[in-house]
Structure 1
Amino acid sequence: MGVLYDYFRAPHDEAVAKLMDTTDGGPVVREQASPLEDAVDGKGIDPPVVLGKVVSLALDVPWSVGLVRERLVWPDGAREDLEYQGPWVVALSDDTRNALAGIPDERMADLADRWSRVEELSHYSHTQPAVMLSRLREFVGLARRARTSGESIYCWISL
């Protein structure tokens, strides 16, 4: 199945920890439960690379490893446990949230077309420009709502 990525917004790290303690299967629950009200199923879009590529396109800067900064917020002790296999949650930087939220609607089609052609997506069959436009709209919408409410974007990751 591959690595799972669920993106969601929350007011702070403590709210994320509380959510994770009560959620089985991640924020975008995959079976027999209600998903979070405001979450995006990342479908293989990891924060630093694939999401980072569209952020770099939006900002018109070269992609680099540190462009999308992330910080581990859950679970406690996962960073020190070299054998821990997940799941875990990272917080994305406000710079990333703001870059996504700031993408104008009129740029989305062009950005999605360019994003659909990044090397890291070449092995997926679902990365046509129209599909990636839909994906981009989801991410931009989540980022705009997070920015408006003063919240951060988090990513739940499971191997």
Structure 2
Amino acid sequence: MTRIVTNYFAAASDDVAAMALLDPEGPSALAQGSGEPLFDTVELPSIEPFVMLGTLYELLSGRPYRECTAEDRHGQVVGGSDEGPWVVTLSDGLVSALAQTHRARLAEVAERWARTPELRTLNPQRQPVRLGGAVASLAALAHRAVEVRHSLYCWTCLPE
């Protein structure tokens, strides 16, 4: 199974988010002069934005998976080449659900998420703990993004 590199990040617009494609390190590349990352970024290795985050959104919202993944901006490609890397959008509904969900509920959702078929294949022994931290980090990123009216994106590439 090929593991993918996935970094979730906040940006003011799709055009700004596409700038993450200009550096091979993506949105976590350091800005010249400041040494700070170009974007507010959370690295979630192998957590892809299409099916896995669709399932997370389903668990957070209680809505059917099909509705969650049919929302505007769910996995819309902002830019990238055929071979990658790519930048895709996260739906506003998912971002809002993440930003508004209390930490205890996030932990409960992460445990349920860890038992889904697509997530069980990723290091099953550590999954609930790892995913709890991942969901909390993604929720914190969503909260910061909502505060400044930014959207969330996923920068994805295949390792060489």
Give per-residue Cα distances to partners, 1:67-86, cap 9 Å, x unaligned. Answer: 571221124xx5xxxxx211
Q: Does the CA contact (< 8 Å) of 2:107 and 2:136 recur in 1?
A: no
Q: Does the CA contact (< 8 Å) of 2:120 and 2:127 recur in 1?
A: no
Rounded to whole Å, the distance in 2 between the matches of 1:93 and 1:28 is: 21
Rounded to whole Å, the distance in 1 between the matches of 2:123 and 2:86 is: 27
Rounded to whole Å, the distance in 2 between the matches of 1:86 and 1:124 is: 22
2:32 corresponds to: none
Alpha-carbon offset, residue 90 of structure 1: 1.0
Alpha-carbon offset, residue 134 of structure 1: 0.6
Give per-residue Cα distances to partners, 1:41-89, cap 9 Å, x unaligned. Answer: 12111112111111111101232243571221124xx5xxxxx211111
Tell me the secondary structure at the aligned position of residue 122 of structure 2.
coil
Rounded to whole Å, the distance in 2 between the matches of 1:87 and 1:153 is: 16
Normalising by structure 2, what TM-score?
0.81
- Whichever residue aligns with residue 43 of structure 1, its letter is P
Deviates more, 1:137-146 or 1:96-105: 96-105
Q: Superposition pairs for residues 81-100 of structure 1, below 5 Å? A: 84-100=82-98
Give the helix-richer structure, 1 or 2: 2
Normalising by structure 1, what TM-score?
0.82
Give per-residue Cα distances to partners, 1:86-134, cap 9 Å, x unaligned. Answer: 1111122212211211212221221111011110011221643222111
Residue segments in structure 2 that go unaligned for 5+ positions in a row: 30-34
Rounded to whole Å, the distance in 1 between the matches of 2:90 and 2:106 is: 21
Rounded to whole Å, the distance in 2 between the matches of 1:98 and 1:28 is: 23
Root-mean-square deviation (CA), in Å? 2.1
Alpha-carbon offset, residue 35 of structure 1: 4.3
One of 81, 105, 108 as aligned partner of 1:107: 105
Q: Superposition pairs for residues 60-71 of structure 1, below 5 Å? A: 60-64=62-66, 65-66=69-70, 69-71=74-76
Residue segments in structure 1 that go unaligned for 5+ positions in a row: 79-83
The runs of at least 4 aligned residues of structure 1 exceeding 3 Å deviation read: 33-37
Tell me the secondary structure at the aligned position of residue 7 of structure 1.
strand
* Count of equivalent residues: 148
Q: Does the CA contact (< 8 Å) of 2:3 and 2:45 recur in 1?
A: no
